[in-house]
Amino acid sequence: MTGTELAVLGAEGVGMTGLGLVKTTPAAPWMARIETHPSWETLSQLRIAMRVGVALNRFRVRDLLTLKVGQVLESVSPETEDVPLMVGQVQLGWSEFEVVDQRMGLRLTRLG
């Protein structure tokens, strides 16, 4: 290795040059600094349709038509599994449902 080369070793932020060990600063994940991207003003205004699906056990159109407030449905998916989040035909990531004050939200748990 020459004096101008730098090899970063692992996530602990330590590198090695021909001159010895140096401390490096790990870069912030790109998603944490997305607002600094030159195209952010345009990107933040895009409207996209996202979809998640939960497989329901023995659910028919008749059940949908007779659905009542507060009714509980049985899902085929285990409650601990994340569900895929789709944008068009592309899987954006994985998500989980969360209920707060009688409202249901969707939390992105990891990118796909």
Give pLDDT tens digits for 18-51. 555 555 555 666 667 778 888 888 878 888 888 8
At 95, which CATH number? Answer: 2.30.330.10
Residues 66 and 82 in one domain: yes
Residues 98 and 62 in one domain: yes
Residues 109 and 65 in one domain: yes
Whether 63 shows a pLDDT value over 80: the answer reads yes
User: For 88-110, what is the mean pLDDT?
Assistant: 86
Count the domains in the chain: 2
Which pLDDT belongs to residue 21? Answer: 57
Residues 10 and 63 in one domain: no
Residues 57 and 4 in one domain: no
User: For 85-93, what is the mean pLDDT?
Assistant: 88
Which pLDDT belongs to residue 3? Answer: 43
Phi, then psi, of 40 in degrees rounded to 5: -60, -40
Give dist(CA 22, CA 42) in Å, integer.
Answer: 39
Residues 41 and 58 in one domain: no
| Host domain of residue 73 | 51-112
Q: Please indicate whether residue 26 or residue 10 has the higher confidence score (pLDDT).
A: 26
Whether 64 shows a pLDDT value over 80: the answer reads yes
Residues 55 and 109 in one domain: yes
Give dist(CA 65, CA 74) in Å, integer.
Answer: 17
